[in-house]
């Protein structure tokens, strides 16, 4: 681009807000608030857990349908990776089968939210590192703080109540700006 504009592919406007907040050095509560809103919007757009389950059931893996773009990869290596994936899915299914349906749905909702968040954070990582606003270790710590934020748990609970994500809203914001009267009566050094 002649004026050095850069378009970040794969990030919606809500995720761009998260990216800008991380680059600006905002606090983890503010970033978690933006992440929860972005995840809720993505879940609404994708159809929630029900749509993800339907897509997973509709996928049928056939070795003849795979296109080999890497000449080093052969069909046996992809087939063995597929077998490992099936083994992991089978193990998860057995683990969820040992729990109550509500607990299994909560675990699935938490995994869906975590995967969505990790995917978007992974897309932001190279740009955040290039800008130098955070190191890789700080970025990983921020990701862990966002995953453990109370608003993420509230979003998971709402997703369990509405698995189709129809009408899913992000929980109310936890970070409230200080009142103007408090700001006016506070010394600048205390802010």
The pLDDT value given to residue 37: 92
Tokens of residue 15, six digits: 């995720």
Q: Are 170 and 40 in contact (CB under 8 A)?
A: yes
- The single-letter DSSP state of residue 4 is -
Establish if 186 belongs to a structural domain: no
On whether the CB atoms of residues 12 and 42 are closer than 8 A, the answer is: yes
Element (H, E) at 113: helix 101-131
Domain assignment of residue 157, given as a range: 13-63+75-173
Point out the residues of the chain with pLDDT beneath 70: 1-10, 52-99, 174-177, 191
| 31 within a domain of the structure (yes/no) | yes
Residue 49 covered by a domain: yes
What is the number of structural domains in the chain?
A: 1
- Of 64, 163, 57, the C-alpha closest to 112 is 163
- What's residue 62's pLDDT? 47
pTM: 0.68
Q: Please give the pLDDT value at position 70.
A: 45
91 belongs to a structural domain: yes
pLDDT of res. 95: 65
Q: So what's the pLDDT on residue 126?
A: 87
Q: Is residue 180 part of a domain?
A: no
Q: Is residue 33 part of a domain?
A: yes
Residue 184 lies in a domain: no
Is residue 8, in this structure, part of any structural domain at all? Answer: no
The predicted pLDDT at position 61 comes to 47
pLDDT at residue 68 in the model = 42
């Amino acid at each position: 681009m002649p004026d050095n504009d850069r378009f970040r592919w794969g990030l919606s406007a809500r995720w761009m807000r998260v990216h800008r907040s991380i680059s600006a050095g905002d606090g983890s509560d503010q970033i978690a608030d933006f992440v929860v809103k972005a995840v809720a919007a993505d879940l609404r757009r994708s159809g929630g857990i029900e749509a993800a389950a339907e897509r997973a059931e509709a996928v049928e893996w056939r070795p003849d349908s795979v296109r080999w773009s890497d000449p080093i990869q052969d069909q046996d290596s992809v087939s063995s990776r597929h077998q490992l994936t099936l083994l992991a899915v089978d193990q998860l299914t057995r683990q969820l089968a040992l729990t109550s349906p509500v607990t299994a749905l909560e675990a699935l909702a938490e995994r869906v939210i975590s995967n969505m968040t990790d995917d978007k954070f992974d897309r932001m990582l190279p740009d955040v590192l290039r800008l130098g606003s955070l190191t890789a270790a700080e970025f990983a710590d921020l990701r862990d703080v966002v995953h453990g934020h109370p608003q993420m748990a509230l979003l998971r609970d709402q997703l369990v109540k509405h698995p189709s994500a129809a009408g899913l809203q992000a929980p109310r914001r936890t970070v409230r700006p200080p009142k103007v009267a408090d700001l006016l009566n506070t010394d600048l050094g205390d802010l």
